[in-house]
Amino acid sequence: MDENVGRRIAATQWPTAVDRGLRGLSETADGGKLWWGVAGGLALTGAKGRSAARTAMLSLGCAALVANLIAKPLAGTARPTAPFQSSRATRRLARFPRSTSWPSGHTANAVAFATATALVSPARGLAVAPVAGAVAFSRLHVGAHWLSDVLGGAAIGAGSAVAVDAVRRRVAERHAGSSTHADLPALPDGAGLYLIVNPHSGPDSGPAARLDEVVLQQFLAAIPRADVHTLAEDDDVEDLMTDAARSGRYTAIGAAGGDGTLGVAAAVAADHGIPFFVAPHGTLNHFARALGLDHGSDSLDALAHGTGRSASLAEVRVGSTRIPMLNTFSAGVYPEIVERRDDRLHQLPKAVAAVVAGATELAGARPTRWTVDDEQVEALSVFIGNGDYGAPGAPLPGSRVPGSHTLDVWLLGVTSGADDWSQRVPGVRRRRGATTLRLDGAERVAVDGEIYDVPPGRAVTLEIRDRPVSVYAPGQDATR
């Protein structure tokens, strides 16, 4: 069967563009480079996307280990020879692999990545699957593998993903409910709550925008005695929240909006020691989800019962600009992926745009030299989480683990430096427990998904604020 399939594929005349595209895809997937980019794109789609990216890269690493270090030496099969390869130059690899043939390592990597993504998030897995399928077929198209090699690699990849995902689920169960919980004043009908609403958060138009508005109005109807203020064009969020916190009229202050609005409001609440209420609304609600506030009903239940959590807040200084940071900071490839996704691929579905942007940017990425707290490093990207983004032994950043009040610093695609940082997989370094950090050499950074240009020659500093904020969130029992 292998020979019949090999001859058919070699004899089939494909358009030159298809030949070059599949050859380029196959070469881009060498060493997992393609999948680093796709993982970066997935990470832009929220907490679930970061979890999918982490699980997918761990699965890829497991599949590569089994395929290349165990299966290939044991099998020792020969690769296809000239009769089973096309004579067209547009289909030939620049460097034909010399390792044994079974199984296909490229296919193992691709299927492991796609399967793991689907196990964490079926919708994201659907976006990744065509890329994985194209990589697998490309190995047949360029004559590097037999069909049995590809099928064997697919089996190893799928098995690796299932095993890694099972471990992920056990770790998630062990860390559930690990944050610092707080008892807050119960405000079942909203009496004593000052709430600002950012009408510009969320979809701009269309059915999604209308649905978002209906959901928001239903949410507000559940707290009829709250003092609700809808932001006008010239309103300043910080001034409004500060006046409310100082007035003595309110027991709690809150905001309905995306992470940008929430960051400013949460900082005011922390500074004045007043409980903070989060109303999930807008395009980015990573902070809310990290606290277990997946739906508006979660926020309302917490407000009615007076349950809450203590959450750390960070601040980023870019030149003379101070930016509240609820979730994450990044420099290097990641901000470029964000810009490409939002500016050049905005017409695509967000998950698809993120995957395409990640693969495109990483394909041409080069390591950048930075100075991190006076230590010179070279890496593709710097990722910093407000709190731990992954368990202490995690090899890659993932979902936020509640309860940590320090910075979680990751270097991705490291080529030099950071030798004393912890390392679980090649090219990735991690340093936990910092409360301040200085970064030199960044030209552009992303803070909670917003892009900021760094003035030439200026450093970027990050620090955990002295005071955490008490947020209305599900109680201990609800998080398990």
pTM here is 0.62
In this structure, what token pair is assigned to residue 22?
A: 């599949």
Nearest partner of 402 among 301, 289, 307, 297, judged by Cα: 289
Residue 437 lies in a domain: yes
In this structure, what token pair is assigned to residue 333?
A: 């490839």
- Residue 339 clears pLDDT 70, i.e. is over it: yes
Residues 170 and 235 in one domain: no
What is the number of other CB atoms lying within 10 angstroms of the CB of residue 122? 9
Q: Give the whole-angstrom CA distance, residue 382 versus residue 334.
A: 8
Look up the CATH number of the domain holding residue 474: 3.40.50.10330
Predicted confidence band of residue 229 (pLDDT cuts 50, 70, 90): very high
What is the number of other CB atoms lying within 10 angstroms of the CB of residue 220? 18
Look up the CATH number of the domain holding residue 347: 2.60.200.40
- Residue 433 clears pLDDT 80, i.e. is over it: yes
Any bridge partners for residue 321, and if so which? Answer: 318
pLDDT of residue 280: 67
- Residue 469 clears pLDDT 80, i.e. is over it: yes
Residue 316 lies in a domain: no
Average pLDDT over residues 112-140: 93
Query: Which residues fall within 8 angstroms of residue 102, CB to CB, at 6 or more apart?
Result: 71, 72, 75, 77, 146, 148, 149, 152
Residue 120 lies in a domain: yes
Residues 300 and 242 in one domain: yes
DSSP assignments along 401-429, one per residue: -TT--SEEEEEES--B--TTSB-SSTTEE
DSSP assignments along 255-308, one per residue: EEE-HHHHHHHHHHHHHHT--EEEEE-SS--HHHHHTT--SHHHHHHHHHHTEE
Number of domains in the chain: 3
Average pLDDT over residues 345-373: 78
Query: In which domain, by residue range, is 155 found?
Result: 2-175
Q: Give the whole-angstrom CA distance, residue 303 versus residue 188.
A: 6
Which residue is it, tokens 């390869």? 85
Residues 355 and 417 in one domain: yes
Residue 169 lies in a domain: yes
Longest distance between any two alpha carbons in the chain, whole Å: 84
pLDDT of residue 86: 59
- Residue 350 clears pLDDT 90, i.e. is over it: no
413 or 216, higher pLDDT: 413
Query: Which residues fall within 8 angstroms of residue 301, CB to CB, at 6 or more apart?
Result: 307, 474, 478
